[in-house]
Structure 1
Amino acid sequence: MTEDAEPELPRGIALAWGVAANPQRGPKREMSVERIVEAAVEIADAEGLGAVSMAAVAARMGFTPMSLYRYVSAKEDLILLMQEEATGAPSDAVREAGGWREQLEALYREQIQGHLAHPWVLDIPISGVPVTPNMAAWMDAGLHALADTHLTYEERLAVVLFVSGAARWAGSIFAGYARLERERGMDAPTITRSEDALFRALITGDAYPDLRAAIEAGAFLDESDPFAFALARGLDGIGDYIAAAAEGRHEPSVPWTGPDDADIADDKKYREARKAVRDAEKVLRAARKAERLEARAARERRAKHGPAA
């Protein structure tokens, strides 16, 4: 394939973008990719991801499993489309929330709400970023929140991944406790007190002195949201970094040293080469800052004097 050639889309991705060819003939009008995905999501919401199969979806719709394969040719594609449907897209309220921090916090909250509405999505193995419309919309909303900052696109993407990761982790914990509440018939405070009692019975000061101290302090009975606290502190640090970037005084991101580089990390010439890369990145950031300033000045000139002749 040449560099200019368009990649061949996997069937599931093509279906998500609505560019896959539909079957020429179908068993009935009631059968469609959308209806199949809707039925599969209903099963997953009621019974979990493990209950979803082509046979179960077909039975729910009143068709044979083979009829489904005319529309969705593999279960992996069906799972992808289910994830796309359940994830949805961020609301307009995210972009209207305020500054970069308020927008990212709104994005975080909406992602958690989505995880709680469809917790089975968290059971789908991560195998890269799904290149689907809704997933792209979430990433675009996160990048939009940071569009007016002086962060590079790589840094903006890293922040978006941090927020999404925090939402996924918090969502998995909240969804797990919600499941416990349903299965045990206990409310959240009761579960919390039960867990604290177990900690107090099993964790000794001799074996786990710091953990025992936290237990004695009542840390496991605290009703505040530890995930919101951690996100806030992370955003505090990102805010400091954004301010430093605006003033041109932050250090460039250090390239990741992989396992293959660990054995040469102390090599003098290698260190010099890495320093040269960091210096070049610093110069590039300064040039980009100058470009942004000139662009702003150009817009002000145009607004004042009109387009150049």
Structure 2
Amino acid sequence: MSADLPDDLARLWRVHRGSRLGRPAALDVAIVVRTAVELADRDGLPGATLPKLAAELGVTPMSLYRHVGSKDELLTLMGDAGFGPPLEYEPPLGDWRDLLRRWAMAQWAIHRRRPWLAQLPISGPPRGPHLVGWLDAGLRALRDTGLDPAAALGVLSVVGGYVRHADLLAQQLAAGWLADGAAQPQHEQNYGRQMSALIDPHRFPDAAALFASGLFESPPPTDDPTGDDFEFGLELILDGVAVAVAG
């Protein structure tokens, strides 16, 4: 059966091909991918290019193609390795909403620890063992909801997509605050004051009311505004899933 697998899928699942005789190779797919993930953790995705990876490993860039077929394949391998094994649910296991919340929060924590994951291109559905494991864990959360397979897969696509988008948004906002030279509270105050000065209440009555409310002048105190925003949005999505489940 393994002979029928495409080479990239065999490498992704670490399906061994060929003879096991002789001395083990000094370099293999696992070492290449682990090193690439370490570079991305340290320097971001631009730090994990094939030339930089080759330099880190002390080999020529061309020699890496014996272990990864292309730059795109390397990114796929990194994405699967970067997520790592899925969470294991702790009892009780009967509440789908709690399980799905844990699933999303666990992915959110990984994204915040490894921001480069959200910057990877989406090249198709989950194909690697770790991402398939996350899919399996998500389906387990929805097992007793009565949703059919298509609906369950749709729910996981929406929730997983929200996690990814929320992380990208948080990264870009943080970069904007940094470029502006202001911390988030000061940035929000500046934004609110500037918009209040510009917005005509006759043209944009509801937006004008929002900026006149003082929301941006005195943001609600929080230790983690990004996390609070994420959890608020996640609960809205779970409310929508609950409607689908009830239906």
* TM-score bracket for this pair, using the shorter chain length: 0.7 to 0.9
What's the secondary structure of 1:92's corresponding residue?
coil
- State which structure, 1 or 2, has the greater radius of gyration over its C-alpha atoms: 1
Q: Distance in 1 between matches of 2:90 and 2:6?
A: 31
Q: Deviations for 1:16-55, whole angstroms, at most 9, x for unmatched residues?
A: 1111537989999542212211221222223322333211
Shift of 1:59: 0.3
**Partners in 2 of 1:169 and 1:145 — Cα distance?**
22
Question: Alignment identity in percent?
Answer: 34
* Whole-angstrom distance in 2 between the partners of 1:16 and 1:95: 32
d(CA) in 1 for partners of 2:138 and 2:69?
A: 33
In structure 2, distance between residues paired with 1:131 and 1:35: 20
Establish whether residue 230 from structure 1 lines up as the match of residue 233 from structure 2: yes
For structure 2, the 5+ residue unaligned runs are: none
Return the match for 2:188 from 187, 192, 205.
Answer: 192
- Tell me the equivalent position of 2:214: 218
| 1:11 aligned to which of 7, 14, 19 | 7
Inter-CA distance 46–183: structure 2 relative to 1 (3 Å threshold):
farther
Report SS of the residue matched to 2:144: coil
Matched, 1:120 2:116: yes
1:201-280, aligned counterparts within 5 Å?
Answer: 201-220=197-216, 221-222=219-220, 225-244=228-247
RMSD: 3.1
The offset of 1:204, in angstroms, is 3.4
Q: Which residue of 2 aligns with 1:64?
A: 60
Structure-1 separation of matches of 2:215 and 2:3: 52
The two structures have a TM-score, normalised by structure 2, of 0.82
Q: Deviations over 1:60-91 (max 9, x none)?
A: 11111122122112111111111111111222
> Structure 1's 152 and 47: CA in aligned 2 closer, same or farther, altered over 3 A?
same
- Provide Cα deviations, 1:246-297, integer angstroms capped at 9, x if missing partner: xxxxxxxxxxxxxxxxxxxxxxxxxxxxxxxxxxxxxxxxxxxxxxxxxxxx
TM-score, normalization by structure 1:
0.67
Structure 1 residues 241 and 53 mapped into 2: Cα distance closer, same or farther (>3 Å)? closer
8 A Cα contact 1:90 1:138, kept in partner: yes
Q: Give the aligned partner of residue 167 of structure 2.
A: 171
> How far is 1:176 from its partner?
2.8
Relative to structure 1, the CA distance from residue 159 to residue 29 in structure 2 (aligned partners, 3 Å threshold; closer, same or farther) is same
CA contact (8 A) 1:94 1:103 kept: no
- In structure 1, how many angstroms separate the alpha carbons of the residues matched to 2:49 and 2:24? 21
Distance 1:60 1:26 in 2: 26
- Say which SS state the counterpart of residue 148 (structure 1) adopts: helix
Q: Deviations over 1:89-122 (max 9, x none)?
A: 2221467565100011111111111111111121
> Which protein, 1 or 2, shows the higher relative CO under an 8 Å CA cutoff with sep ≥ 6?
2
